[in-house]
Amino acid sequence: MGIESVIADVSHKPLVVESSYMDYVKTEKNNKKNDVKKPIKIESEQKSDTNKTLTMSALDAVKLAGRLMDAGDYEHATQILTMMPQTNNLPVEIERWYLLAQMAQRRGDYDTAIKIYRKILDDQPDLVKIRYELALCYMAKKQWYRADYHLRLAMAGTDIPPNVKQAMMYYRWVARQNKNWNVWFNFGAAPDNNVNQASGERICGTWYGWFNGCTDTTEPERAVGYNMTLGGNYEFRLSNHWRWKNDANIYTNIYDKHKYDDLYLSASTGPRYVWERGDVWLAAVGARRWYGRDRYNWSAGLKLDTNYDFTRKLSGGITLRVLDNKYDEYDYINGQTYSSNARVSYSLDATKYIILRGGVDRDTAKSDVYANWRYSTGIGFGAVLPWGFHVYLEPSLTWTNYDAPRLVVVSRDNIIQWDRITERDLLQRYAVSLSNNKFDVWGFVPTLTVSYMHRDSNIPTRDYSKTTIEFSFQQRF
């Protein structure tokens, strides 16, 4: 049967393109009417080996393809959508690709549908319906973490019908119930202009009034680090709400100056309770660290991790930890860490979000000189931009107050002397990250992160500044 016969067969049916973006076509400010109305030609193969050409506007062709799709004739709908020439009208092109993705999705070809939905979102990240359909495809493939990620963004959209909001909430609950495993892997390179966090300050003056001289502190060292993170988790499903969750993580940073090499291993295991709006995980944790290729320390303890969705746009969580720390060579630092960290995220819409962080940490030690309180806060802003870009900015502050004074060299009134000072530090960090999904390589996207850190201390030799530029490949969601 040729296309002209199909037209006669379905022409009496009302035009209903399911979940169509034709409303978007009508309201698009930059709608190029001439492109929409410009006649296009579609050739249809006939049994007589002759070609018949149909002439219609691009908009009419897409509408016809939608009607054919609803009638179950995917073959001719696909033929129209793939044979019609590309137009300069973005809404019509979005509708064309959307219909192709819908047919792939209905046929169970989720990989093709995912590729098309991603292509659309790379150019138009604010299309809630597309992101919602992408999440459903990930759910069909049981990629629950990715499904949950896109559902969370879609739920922040505007003008969502109440029944669709309810469906999204339900699907997030389904995703949360089924998120039983995940694997992550990131790698990259990061030049560092002060890997040893040194001040490089020279202290000059008169030593106790007897003779003039200077003393030099450690100079900052430049190095290039090659980092990798590999980890995963798996949950055993015990019931509809209870799980037993396990995770493990490896982080390493190998520098061209190997005395700064860092390797960190961690693992956690424990029961997790899941309900419609959140989850709670109580786990035993353990970690081991090597620094400069020598054994550095290990720790073991407990953590409580909670997450809760207050509304479809507002979510938050609290993490509590208690750890016992043992150092291989510096036993005077042995002690405990008690930490409490909270985070709140708010989605402004389907493409922009804000994250607030805050925390209090307490480190004890055999020597009170190293025992301290830390208070931290930060605010992040992220946006999914057109052309596949994603940007994230976060300034943060950390205050560290030590318990007891330490013996340090200071210069007062041009006199160099030893003094006992209880250290007080303020660490400022400013970071910006930029990635682009259009450069997807085997599921990884390039990410550039630039960060600047500056520590102010009441002990001048403890001041330092550093800039790190990191280029990495991270998994795409």
The confidence score (pLDDT) of residue 20 equals 40
Q: Name residues whose C-beta falls within 8 Å of residue 230's C-beta, 6 or more positions apart in sequence.
A: 184, 185, 249, 250
The candidate with the shortest Cα–Cα distance to 315, out of 145, 149, 130, is: 149
Query: Six-digit token pair at 66?
Result: 């939608």
Query: Six-digit token pair at 394?
Result: 């976060």
Query: Six-digit token pair at 397?
Result: 């502050």
User: What distance in Å separates the CA atoms of residue 266 and residue 303, rounded to the nearest whole number?
Assistant: 13
What three-state secondary structure class fits 361? strand
The candidate with the shortest Cα–Cα distance to 424, out of 378, 455, 466, is: 455
Do residues 379 and 397 make contact, with C-beta atoms less than 8 angstroms apart? no
Do residues 196 and 221 make contact, with C-beta atoms less than 8 angstroms apart? yes
The confidence score (pLDDT) of residue 260 equals 92
161 CB burial (10 A radius; 0-12, 13-18, 19+)? exposed
Do residues 344 and 315 make contact, with C-beta atoms less than 8 angstroms apart? yes
Task: Tell me the pLDDT of the chain (477 aa) as tens digits.
Answer: 443 333 333 333 332 333 344 443 343 334 444 444 445 555 544 444 455 566 778 888 888 889 999 999 998 899 889 888 888 888 888 999 999 999 999 999 999 999 999 999 988 898 999 999 999 999 999 889 889 989 988 988 888 888 888 888 889 888 888 888 888 888 888 889 888 888 777 666 666 556 566 666 678 889 999 999 999 999 999 998 999 999 999 999 999 999 999 999 999 999 999 998 999 999 999 999 999 999 999 999 999 999 999 998 999 999 999 999 999 999 999 999 999 999 999 999 989 999 999 999 999 999 999 999 999 999 999 999 988 899 999 999 999 999 999 988 777 767 777 889 999 999 999 999 999 888 877 778 889 999 999 999 998 888 999 999 988 887 766
153: left (phi over 0), alpha (psi -120 to 50) or beta: alpha
The confidence score (pLDDT) of residue 226 equals 92
Could you give all domains of the chain from N- to C-terminal order, each with its CATH number? 1-107 (no CATH), 118-179 (no CATH), 184-257+339-475 (2.40.160)
End-to-end CA distance of the chain: 42
Its pTM stands at: 0.79
The candidate with the shortest Cα–Cα distance to 379, out of 325, 343, 329, 339, is: 343
